[in-house]
């Protein structure tokens, strides 16, 4: 039986500290004003991303196993309960069946990158994941619209950190971007970063609601200047969520920030990522645009809820030559 060929990357699944923290910079309007985006070139590059490079057979299996390590396994539904969160945490601990991992030739421990929940369930998730090393991420600051009063946003961050969240996914106020008020955006995100304390902060810029690629690029730059450890595409609640084109603009902002400051900021696409093929597309994007280190969980996350199920089906096909029905897949 064929065995997986391990992806040549370094780092452990739960090592956000390996990337260090983004200390941020002083507010600098120069790089924001200097943004130029060729929409046709971006769309052309995005359209050929998955056709120029393919990953097959044992290499594909290895990439898919690696993708599992980067998933922020997420439940953000109005009908969430402590029970559903605990089941999700159990799935995060063992996302793929042991016998399947054995049969594809992967002998190591496998877990997801994090579990992402509303503040209300942070304490339950922390308890359920105790001893696993899997971090809990909390969505915050009036998720998903980001329209709560500012003091309430700060209080929500602080409460999640107090309950044990080690990662905070904040949402920016889109009006600052749409009005071109970059100083207001910087001040807001910087205050969120300070409220996070030791917790890593992911800034959700909601690409589908910013109107233009130029706005996406500018918002990404300002959030990184303000100290965001990650920039994230979407809440998953917008009509348009993660796209390869919008992600391409964001990762090039990450590269520009690294070239200017020497600081490595992470990237997280989220919303609508449901298939193994999509996971491969984003891994290819990271490899081609930023290199293998940015494929690691401390610099790359996939926000998803149903993705693990499809990855498991693809691994079953690799191991046994057939797909199992979705009814046999474990659900969070």
Strand, helix or coil for residue 72: strand
Cα distances (Å, whole numbers) of residue 14 to 148, 242, 330: 31, 23, 23
Catalytic residues: 169, 232, 268
8 Å CB contact between 182 and 217: no
Give 230-287 pLDDT, tens digit per residue. Answer: 999 999 999 999 999 999 999 999 999 999 999 999 999 999 999 999 999 999 999 9
Q: In what order do the strands lie in the sheet with 200-204?
A: 266-268, 230-232, 200-204, 167-171, 136-139, 114-118, 71-74, 302-304
- 3-state DSSP call for residue 136? strand
In the prediction, which pLDDT does 4 show?
A: 58
Average pLDDT over residues 163-189: 98
Instruction: Give the tens place of pLDDT for each residue, 69-87.
Output: 999 999 999 999 999 999 9
Q: How many CB atoms lie within 10 A of CB 119?
A: 17
pLDDT of residue 5 exceeding 60: no
pLDDT in tens, 148-161: 999 999 999 999 99
End-to-end CA distance of the chain: 30
Domains of the chain (ranges, CATH numbers): 28-322 (3.20.20.70)
- pLDDT exceeds 50 at position 15: no
Q: What is the pLDDT of residue 331?
A: 53
From 5-14, 176-185, 240-249, 263-272, the region with the lowest mean pLDDT? 5-14
Cα distances (Å, whole numbers) of residue 265 to 66, 91, 224: 20, 28, 7
Q: Over the stretch 35-68, which tens digit does the pLDDT of each residue have? A: 999 999 999 999 988 777 778 788 999 999 999 9
Whether the pLDDT of residue 11 is over 50: the answer is no
From residue 300, alpha-carbon distances to 57, 71, 89, 254 in Å are: 23, 9, 20, 12
Q: Give the confidence band of 8 by pLDDT, cuts at 50, 70, 90.
A: very low
Q: What is the pLDDT of residue 146?
A: 95
């Amino acid at each position: 039986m064929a065995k997986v060929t391990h992806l040549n990357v370094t780092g452990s699944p739960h090592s956000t500290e390996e990337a260090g923290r983004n200390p941020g910079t002083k507010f600098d309007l120069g790089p924001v004003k200097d943004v130029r985006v060729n929409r046709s070139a971006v769309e052309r590059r995005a359209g050929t991303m998955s056709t120029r490079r393919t990953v097959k057979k044992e290499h594909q299996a290895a990439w898919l196993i690696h993708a599992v390590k980067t998933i922020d396994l997420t439940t953000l539904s109005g009908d969430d309960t402590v029970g559903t969160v605990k089941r999700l945490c159990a799935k995060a601990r063992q996302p793929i069946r042991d016998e399947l991992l054995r049969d594809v030739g992967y002998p190591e421990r496998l877990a997801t990158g994090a579990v992402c929940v509303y503040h209300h369930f942070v304490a339950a998730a922390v308890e359920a994941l105790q001893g696993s090393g899997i971090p809990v991420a909390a969505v915050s600051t009036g998720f998903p619209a980001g329209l709560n009063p500012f003091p309430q946003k700060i209080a929500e961050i602080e409460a999640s950190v107090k309950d044990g969240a080690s990662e905070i996914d904040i949402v920016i106020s889109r009006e600052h971007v749409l009005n071109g008020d970059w100083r207001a955006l910087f001040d807001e995100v910087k205050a969120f970063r300070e409220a996070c304390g030791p917790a890593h902060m992911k800034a959700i810029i909601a690409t589908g609601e910013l109107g233009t690629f130029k706005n996406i690029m500018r918002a990404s730059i300002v959030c990184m200047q303000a100290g965001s450890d990650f920039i994230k595409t979407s809440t998953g609640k917008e009509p348009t969520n993660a796209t390869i084109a919008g992600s391409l603009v964001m990762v090039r902002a990450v590269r520009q920030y690294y070239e200017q400051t020497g600081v490595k900021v992470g990237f997280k696409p989220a919303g609508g990522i449901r298939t193994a093929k999509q996971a491969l597309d984003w891994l290819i994007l990271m490899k081609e645009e930023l290199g293998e280190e940015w494929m690691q969980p401390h610099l790359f996350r996939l926000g998803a809820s149903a993705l693990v199920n499809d990855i498991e089906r693809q691994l079953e096909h690799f191991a046994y030559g057939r797909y199992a029905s979705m009814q046999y897949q474990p659900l969070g």
